[in-house]
Amino acid sequence: MPAKKTSAASKPTAPPARELLFGDLWEYDPAPESAPAFIDDRYPLFIGGEFTAPKSKRYFDSLSPRDESRLTRIADGGKADVDAAYAAATKAFPGWSAMPGAERGKYLFRIARLLQDRAREFAVAETLDGGKPIRESRDFDVPMAAAHFFYHAGWADKLAYLAPGRVPRPLGVAGQVIPWNFPLLMLAWKIAPALAAGNTVVLKPAETTSVTAMKFATILRDAELPPGVVNLVSGGRETGAAVVTHPGAAKVAFTGSTGVGKWIQHALAGTGRRLTLELGGKAANIIFDDAPLDQAVEGVINGIFFNQGHVCCAGSRLLVQESVAETVVRKLEIRMRSLRTGDPLDKNTDVGAINSQGQLEKIRELVRAGIDEGARIHQPACKLPERGWYFPPTLFSGVTMSQRVAREEIFGPVLSILTFRTPAEAVEKANNTAYGLSAGVWTDKGSRVFKIASELKAGVVWANTYNKFDPASPFGGYRESGFGREGGRKGMLEYLSLEAP
């Protein structure tokens, strides 16, 4: 019997995406966070266990991206201030490194508990200073920062078990520079392992988000940490350059842009100092046709719109198998309509404020490039606050690998969607980037998860989830995403030299 012909009109079509209607039936009443942040009018430097006025005598305004208001004034440390911080850290190193690990661990436990005691205060300060929704500051940033101090406190008296047959020794003074997207959490990632290993620290917070770092100094004082063990020097680029190139630094740890990371690597080449770089990313989130699509859509939303996309491991490239691409795009459009963009202090907010005016302009410029290059833009209708720096959640479909939105790190709430036909094509497209920090795989087949994960050139690969972190799990990248690891046993080894017994 001849095969029955099927007309184009009768070809089977993908079932329409289910739409949740309740999101449009009522308006949420405002639910503002009422807890005070206790932000001082001015923050000096913290050197040698004391708050110290900058020798430069310069301060700069710290603005809130929420409404562009001035939060406080922050000290702008100069070279002389960095010299003083390194002198204090060098002086404190012999006593701190010789202290029994169990005693060092007690200080880290105290810091963790004090963070927990003041969790709500720090969450509000983090949101006011950085623009992220209060739900994220409250439920992720502050608890995870405390968790890192708890975790590394446990390592302080167990260093001998890190590398059997070798004797671990602290390196000396660690110079550390952290970014503006997770100010308190990045501080914990850097300081906790350094102290547990017996090192002392000179740390520079980001210029636009220094408030919680300077507030953290009061926790160090309340924990009675010996003077000079941790020193905080705020300031701009010149301050950061002085911290990472100082001859007193035995170890440098930097989290930030790839361009600055390359400069640091060049500046430290041949000095013999240890270096850890955690840089940019352009992560691929891969959805196969057998994936649980509703679960995957939620993972994609979390992967790109968490912290307004200000995440180095954000899943900013979505690779979808062709047979389900239309359905996934439709589901994402529906889901994006229920996202609430606005005041980050409102507990209903999903997407808060962009960190700075400069970052907002960069996002706008790249989005314009995506439109000009032919990608199709999708944005939900939403009313943005009149004051402050905001950008609506955005996705591009019909993206090609040659377009800027598929190649450049946008660092904002912008998702680029590409398609693939075979697993080999998915891996090839995912790896076709200069970065290599993270990736995600969505599929119902466990064997496919392991195969694809082994072929992806990324430091972290999530399976059927995204943006899951744990202090015991090492984090870091390859290629232009940097090198070295933070967290877990590998993160501890970055702050130690291993010697023969």
Amino acid at 201: V
Burial grade of 383 (CB within 10 A; 0-12, 13-18, 19 or more): exposed
Tokens of 199: 């090192």
The set of residues, in sequence order, having a beta carbon less than 8 Å from that of 501 and lying 6+ positions away, is 165, 166, 167
The bridge status of strand 376-378 relative to strand 394-397 is antiparallel
Q: Tell me if residue 499 is catalytic.
A: no
Tokens 């983090």 map to which residue? Answer: 126
C-alpha dihedral over 183, 483, 307, 294, to 10 degrees? -150
What CA–CA distances, in Å, run from 285 to 149, 235, 300, 394, 445?
30, 36, 7, 16, 16
Distance of CA 296 to the CA centre of its chain: 21
Backbone φ, ψ for residue 204 (5° rounding): -115, 120
Quick check: is 298 catalytic?
no
50 contact partners, CB below 8 Å, separation of at least 6: 227
DSSP single-letter state for residue 401: T
Q: Which of 126, 136, 207, 278 is catalytic?
A: 278
Helix (H) or strand (E) holding 98: helix 79-98
Q: Which residue has the tokens 């912290």?
A: 307
Between CA 325 and CA 309 the distance in angstroms is 22
DSSP structural state of residue 475: B
DSSP state of 172: S
Angle (CA) 345-349-353 rounded to 5° is: 65
Q: Which DSSP string do the residues of 47-63 spell out, in sequence order?
A: ETTEEE--TT--EEEEE
Q: Assess contact for 308 and 342: CB atoms under 8 A.
A: no
Q: Could you identify the residue written with the tokens 């508990």?
A: 113
Catalytic residue among 126, 136, 207, 312: 312
Backbone dihedral region for residue 181 (phi beyond 0: left; psi -120 to 50: alpha; all else: beta): alpha
The two three-digit tokens of residue 36, written as one number: 């005070």
Tally of CB atoms within 10 A around 314: 31
Beta strands 414-420 and 274-278 are unpaired
Mind telling me the catalytic residues? 278, 312
